[in-house]
């Protein structure tokens, strides 16, 4: 018997850093149980180089990553989505398209590492922190007994995960 594959979309306005890192992380950590995608309402022209660097440092593939418009995932031929996570506050406040499937949604807001002032060293640290927080949240998400939770219980669990912060 083949295990069910859950389609998951990570959304951020620019789709150049946080959502891209989440896509790569879930595709690696979720192996055969999840297929992750990412998109943005106003996608950047390219993936942020420090996101690529952070993913490379973690040994994650980056060749096929690209910034995508979220309309790609609202088309009739798009994969039906099981989960949609917003990872930036701005995207969470926007009116999202109607997604195929009936995805469970949650907000997992993370500060934009590309917007951190103070030069490249501080930005690298911000990217590392954002990556670490995404990795913790995704690991917790993967530990949930998805087949045993009803939609309301699952939404509560995902909201709890979204409130997780890095320790000081």
Catalytic residue among 88, 92, 134, 158: 88
What tokens appear for 51 in the block? 């996101």
136 is catalytic: no
Catalytic residue among 9, 12, 81, 114: 12
Tracing tokens 């499937």 back to the chain, one arrives at: 101
Q: Which long-range contacts (CB under 8 A, 24 or more apart) does 27-33 make?
A: 28/60, 29/135, 29/138, 29/139, 29/142, 30/6, 30/138, 30/142, 32/3, 32/5, 33/3, 33/4, 33/5, 33/6, 33/142
96 is catalytic: yes
65 is catalytic: no
Which positions are catalytic? 12, 88, 96
């Amino acid at each position: 018997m083949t295990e069910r594959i859950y389609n998951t979309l990570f959304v951020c306005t620019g789709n150049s850093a946080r959502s891209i890192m989440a896509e790569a992380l879930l595709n690696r950590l979720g192996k055969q149980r999840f297929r992750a995608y990412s998109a943005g309402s106003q996608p950047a022209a390219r993936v942020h180089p420090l996101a690529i660097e952070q993913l490379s440092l973690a040994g994650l593939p980056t060749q096929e990553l690209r910034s995508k418009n979220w309309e790609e995932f609202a088309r009739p031929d798009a994969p039906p989505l099981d989960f949609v996570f917003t990872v930036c506050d701005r995207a969470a406040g926007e009116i999202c398209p109607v997604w195929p499937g009936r995805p469970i949604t949650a907000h997992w807001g993370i500060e934009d590492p590309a917007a951190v002032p103070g030069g490249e060293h501080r930005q690298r640290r911000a990217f590392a922190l954002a990556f670490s927080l995404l990795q913790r949240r995704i690991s917790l998400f993967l530990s949930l007994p998805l087949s045993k939770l009803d939609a309301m219980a699952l939404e509560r669990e995902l909201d709890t995960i979204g409130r997780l912060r890095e320790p000081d």
